[in-house]
Amino acid sequence: MHSPTRGLGRVMVFLAAALASASLAVPEGWGEEGVQYGQVGTDVTLSCAGARAGSPVQWRREGAAALPEGSAIHQGALVLPHASLAAAGTYSCHGEDGSLLHAVSLRLGHLPGVPFVSCRASDYENFSCSWTSSLETFLPTRYITTYRKKSLTGEEKRRNKSGHVGPCLQDPSRAGTCTVHRSEFWSSYRLNITEVNPLGSSFRLLDITMQAIIKPDPPEGLVVEPVPLAPRRLYVSWKYPASWPKEPHFQLRFRLQYRPVIHRSWSVVETVNLSEVITDAFAGLEHVVQVSAKDFLDAGNWSEWSAEARATPVRDPAATASEGTTTDASLESLAEEPSQAPNPEPINRSDPLEKMAILVSLGIFAFFILAAVLVITILIWLRVRKHSKDETKPHNFLVAATHLKALPRTQILP
């Protein structure tokens, strides 16, 4: 159930936006003297300010031999019924002697539509919103951008029942964007983007939370280098984006994608480090690498991919040596017999370190298998031994009883 004070706060916010929009909707506020604005499809009336009451006047349109079709003069004013965009232009009214009495520039257009708005936070300290008009109005347009932070705690509600209200600052160098500085990660905000033109205004309200709109900028300083003596390895390093706060509790994780230039499919690796070693590159082929970032706790979205970086792994020394020692005769024989393989390099591209790791893994696996077999053998042997002891005990008792029965009674009872 909503409290009356909360409802009153919302009404105050809407009222403030409406008043601001109305103040900007006045034609004089657009700084264009001698301009009259009209809405397409409505009846537009042009007054002749210098005419005497009841005096006949003449209306002319600049650059045209006649007035728009259907126009009429009523008590000295020119009426344009259901005006279309083609009716825009400069009009003038004249007295009986042809003297100029008044001139006005008519501009026609539409009321503003509800703007399209999207918001994004490239860090946990600020967020920005951008918008585009949903309708071409053909008229000068301005935007009022404000926000209200929704109160989340009881203390905030006691201090400010309507929540903190402030401007979303517009950057003159970036049209259609505004920024809220010093935003709070755990708070939610209601953004108001109001589009205003001389005919009226229209607005859109957008509820946002920082966790949902966080999207880091792409990582910077991407460098890719071949690893000496390692034909299938590339060393990749990068840096945090400059816009991300340098704080230990705001970390990023990264996604690395790479492929040979001649291939279309990407290989993807995720990491929390600022560097990674690609171990399955193709020797001698140029590779393209990109990296993107996301909040470490998986909030928001992945950043856009960084700019591409390229590098070529070193060629396999064995392949280079074999190519250097190939004779002309062998080359001719290879030319006569077409190769079935698309790549003439040796098939075995395994790294010595990889071979060593495989051998060590196999040795450890064999050790555990032998240990398991030994333990199972010991358990079976102990079980068999215990079972044999249990079987010999009754047999010895029966022998003793039989021997005692065979003795004379005089030997049994003294």
Q: What is the CATH number of domain 116-213?
A: 2.60.40.10
Fold of the domain built from segment(s) 4-27+35-109 = Immunoglobulin-like (2.60.40)
pLDDT score at 227:
94
Three-state secondary structure call for residue 165: strand
> Which residues touch 314 (CB under 8 Å, ≥6 apart)?
226, 227, 228, 229, 230, 231, 283, 284
Query: Given the structure tokens 């032998």, which residue do they identify?
Result: 370
> Within the chain, which residues score under 50 in pLDDT?
1-28, 323-352, 397-402, 404, 411-414
Query: Residue 189: which H helix or E strand, with range?
Result: strand 188-197
> 404 to each of 391, 396, 413, how far by Cα in Å?
22, 13, 11
User: Using an 8 Å Cβ cutoff, are 183 and 127 in contact?
Assistant: yes
Distance (Å, whole) CA 269 – CA 257:
6
pLDDT score at 49:
84
Residue 236 identity: V
The pTM is what? Answer: 0.61
Q: What are the sequence ranges of the domains in the chain?
A: 4-27+35-109, 116-213, 220-317
Query: Given the structure tokens 């398991």, which residue do they identify?
Result: 372
Three-state secondary structure call for residue 277: strand
Distance (Å, whole) CA 111 – CA 196:
8
Task: State the architecture of 220-317 in CATH terms.
Answer: Sandwich (2.60)
> Which residues touch 188 (CB under 8 Å, ≥6 apart)?
149, 150, 152, 207, 208, 209
> Which residues touch 166 (CB under 8 Å, ≥6 apart)?
146, 147, 180
220-317 and 116-213 share a CATH fold:
yes
pLDDT score at 246:
75
Q: Point out which residues pair with 256 in neighbouring strands.
A: 269, 291
